Amino acid sequence: TGGCLPATRAAAREDDIMKKPGTKQAQAGVALLEVLIAILIISFGILGIIGLQANSIAMMSDARYRIEASAFAERLIAEMWINPVNLASYAYAGTGTPPGPLVAWYDDLTTGSAALPGAATHKPTITISGDNLVTVTINWAPPDGVVHNHVVVANINQNPEN
């Protein structure tokens, strides 16, 4: 005859089984493939969660540094309020040795237990204008290397009666 016929009935049955979807042999390995795809999807989910956690930790550290910078600035402003007669002696351009009234504050900012990272390299500046407007700029560089700053502006009244 013109076609290719199986030699035995068993061979014909085997050919039929291979051609029919839904049989055990046609589905062999599908479960393994499904498990591998599930593991891949779960792995990407876990990696995403790890990335979110790392980002959360970085944001928390940045917030902590901002709070500490704010506390340092407010502490210095409070010292100026207590000593308004010597207000001009608090001016610091961020170069050289800080003036006498700033030494303890500067040491805490740069080397104390709550020191800001990189504050010794990126020094603070304190400017005092003629109308007693004080601008305190505190700089720091967290481990990512990007320099951040916190600026506080206050008007220090030298007249204790007002």
Mean pLDDT for the stretch of residues 118-135: 92
Would you say 14 and 23 are in contact if contact means Cβ atoms under 8 Å apart? Answer: no
Mean pLDDT of all residues in the chain? Answer: 85
Which tens digit of pLDDT belongs to each residue from 28-78?
778 888 999 999 999 999 999 999 998 888 888 888 899 999 999 999 999
- Inter-residue contact 120 to 47 (CB < 8 Å): no
pLDDT at 83: 87
Nearest to 74 by CA among 134, 142, 160, 117: 134
Place 17 in a pLDDT band, splitting at 50, 70 and 90. Answer: low
Q: Taking the model in full, what pTM does it have?
A: 0.67
Instruction: Quote the CA–CA distance of 126 and 80 in Å, as a whole number.
Output: 11
Strands 125-128 and 148-155: unpaired
Looking at residue 74, its pLDDT comes to: 95
* Share above pLDDT 90 across residues of the chain, in percent, rounded to a whole number: 54
141, 118 Cβ separation under 8 angstroms: yes
> Is the distance from CB of 154 to CB of 134 less than 8 angstroms?
yes
Distance CA 106, CA 100 (A): 10
Q: Do 148 and 140 contact (CB within 8 A), yes or no?
A: yes
Question: Could you give the C-alpha distances from 19 to 5, 10, 23, 28, 134, in angstroms and in order?
Answer: 15, 14, 9, 14, 87
Here the tokens at position 1 are 């005859």
Q: How many percent of the chain have pLDDT more than 70?
A: 80
Question: Which stretch of 46-55, 91-100, 118-127, 141-150 has the lowest confidence by average pLDDT?
Answer: 141-150
